[in-house]
Protein backbone atom coordinates (compact mmCIF):
# COMPACT_ATOMS: atom_id res chain seq x y z
CA UNK A 1 0.00 0.00 0.00
CA UNK A 2 1.38 3.37 -0.94
CA UNK A 3 1.92 6.04 1.69
CA UNK A 4 -0.54 8.25 -0.18
CA UNK A 5 -3.28 5.63 0.01
CA UNK A 6 -2.62 5.00 3.72
CA UNK A 7 -2.86 8.75 4.37
CA UNK A 8 -6.16 8.99 2.46
CA UNK A 9 -7.62 6.02 4.35
CA UNK A 10 -6.59 7.60 7.67
CA UNK A 11 -8.33 10.83 6.62
CA UNK A 12 -11.45 8.90 5.68
CA UNK A 13 -11.40 7.18 9.09
CA UNK A 14 -11.27 10.56 10.84
CA UNK A 15 -14.15 11.84 8.73
CA UNK A 16 -16.25 8.80 9.65
CA UNK A 17 -15.48 9.31 13.35
CA UNK A 18 -16.54 12.95 13.04
CA UNK A 19 -19.79 11.95 11.31
CA UNK A 20 -20.48 9.42 14.08
CA UNK A 21 -19.96 12.12 16.74
CA UNK A 22 -22.29 14.48 14.90
CA UNK A 23 -24.95 11.73 14.71
CA UNK A 24 -24.59 11.07 18.45
CA UNK A 25 -24.96 14.79 19.21
CA UNK A 26 -28.08 15.00 17.03
CA UNK A 27 -29.58 12.04 18.91
CA UNK A 28 -28.89 13.70 22.27
CA UNK A 29 -30.34 17.02 21.11
CA UNK A 30 -33.51 15.30 19.87
CA UNK A 31 -33.86 13.42 23.18
CA UNK A 32 -33.49 16.66 25.14
CA UNK A 33 -36.00 18.41 22.87
CA UNK A 34 -38.54 15.64 23.55
CA UNK A 35 -37.88 15.95 27.29
CA UNK A 36 -38.39 19.73 27.17
CA UNK A 37 -41.65 19.25 25.27
CA UNK A 38 -42.90 16.90 28.03
CA UNK A 39 -41.90 19.39 30.72
CA UNK A 40 -43.62 22.18 28.81
CA UNK A 41 -46.86 20.16 28.73
CA UNK A 42 -46.63 19.50 32.47
CA UNK A 43 -46.10 23.19 33.19
CA UNK A 44 -49.08 24.14 30.99
CA UNK A 45 -51.22 21.64 32.90
CA UNK A 46 -50.06 23.06 36.25
CA UNK A 47 -50.77 26.59 35.02
CA UNK A 48 -54.35 25.55 34.26
CA UNK A 49 -54.74 24.30 37.83
CA UNK A 50 -53.37 27.61 39.14
CA UNK A 51 -55.81 29.60 36.95
CA UNK A 52 -58.71 27.48 38.22
CA UNK A 53 -57.70 28.03 41.85
CA UNK A 54 -57.23 31.75 41.21
CA UNK A 55 -60.75 32.00 39.74
CA UNK A 56 -62.12 30.11 42.76
CA UNK A 57 -60.35 32.49 45.17
CA UNK A 58 -61.82 35.49 43.33
CA UNK A 59 -65.32 34.03 43.56
CA UNK A 60 -64.89 33.35 47.28
CA UNK A 61 -63.65 36.92 47.88
CA UNK A 62 -66.72 38.31 46.10
CA UNK A 63 -68.96 36.16 48.31
CA UNK A 64 -67.06 37.25 51.42
CA UNK A 65 -67.38 40.92 50.41
CA UNK A 66 -71.13 40.48 49.93
CA UNK A 67 -71.37 38.89 53.39
CA UNK A 68 -69.43 41.76 55.01
CA UNK A 69 -71.64 44.32 53.25
CA UNK A 70 -74.73 42.48 54.48
CA UNK A 71 -73.34 42.35 58.04
CA UNK A 72 -72.59 46.10 58.07
CA UNK A 73 -76.28 46.96 57.57
CA UNK A 74 -75.30 49.99 55.49
CA UNK A 75 -76.67 50.80 52.05
CA UNK A 76 -73.48 52.26 50.61
CA UNK A 77 -69.76 51.90 51.19
CA UNK A 78 -66.76 54.06 50.39
CA UNK A 79 -64.55 52.77 47.58
CA UNK A 80 -61.73 52.37 50.10
CA UNK A 81 -63.88 50.47 52.58
CA UNK A 82 -62.45 47.05 53.47
CA UNK A 83 -65.68 45.52 52.13
CA UNK A 84 -64.67 46.80 48.67
CA UNK A 85 -61.36 44.91 48.45
CA UNK A 86 -62.67 42.00 46.38
CA UNK A 87 -61.63 40.42 44.15
CA UNK A 88 -58.09 41.83 44.08
CA UNK A 89 -57.63 41.56 47.86
CA UNK A 90 -59.34 39.83 50.73
CA UNK A 91 -62.31 41.93 51.86
CA UNK A 92 -62.85 42.79 55.54
CA UNK A 93 -65.38 44.31 57.93
CA UNK A 94 -66.80 47.70 57.02
CA UNK A 95 -64.42 50.46 58.03
CA UNK A 96 -66.27 53.43 56.50
CA UNK A 97 -65.85 56.56 58.61
ZN1 LIG B 1 -68.07 50.27 54.47
Q: From 23, 91, 18, select the one nearest 57 (Cα to Cα).
A: 91
Could you tell me the pLDDT band of residue 1, with boundaries at 50, 70 and 90?
Answer: confident
Measured CA to CA in angstroms, residue 66 lies from 6, 72, 78, 86, 97 at distances of 90, 10, 14, 9, 19
The reported pLDDT for the residue numbered 14 is 94
> In this model, does residue 92 exceed pLDDT 90?
yes
Q: Are the beta carbons of 90 and 64 closer than 8 angstroms?
A: yes
Kindly give the distance from the C-alpha atom of residue 80 to the centroid of ligand 1, in angstroms, as a whole number. 8
**CA of 94 relative to ligand 1 center, distance in Å:** 4
Instruction: Report how far ligand 1's centroid is from the alpha carbon of 37 (Å).
Output: 50
In this prediction, residue 61 carries a pLDDT of 97
Whether 4 has a pLDDT exceeding 80, the answer reads: yes
Mean pLDDT of 23-37: 98
**Average pLDDT value for residue range 22-27:** 97
Give tens-digit pLDDT for 35-87.
Answer: 999 999 999 999 999 999 999 999 999 999 999 999 999 999 999 999 999 99
DSSP output for 44-63: HHHHHHHHHHHHHHHHHHHH
User: Does residue 97 have a pLDDT over 80?
Assistant: no
The residues placing their C-beta within 5 Å of ligand 1, an ion, are 77, 81, 83, 94, 96
Amino acid sequence: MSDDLIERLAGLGESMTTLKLIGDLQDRIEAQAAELEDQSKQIASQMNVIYDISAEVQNLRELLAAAYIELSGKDGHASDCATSNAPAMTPGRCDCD
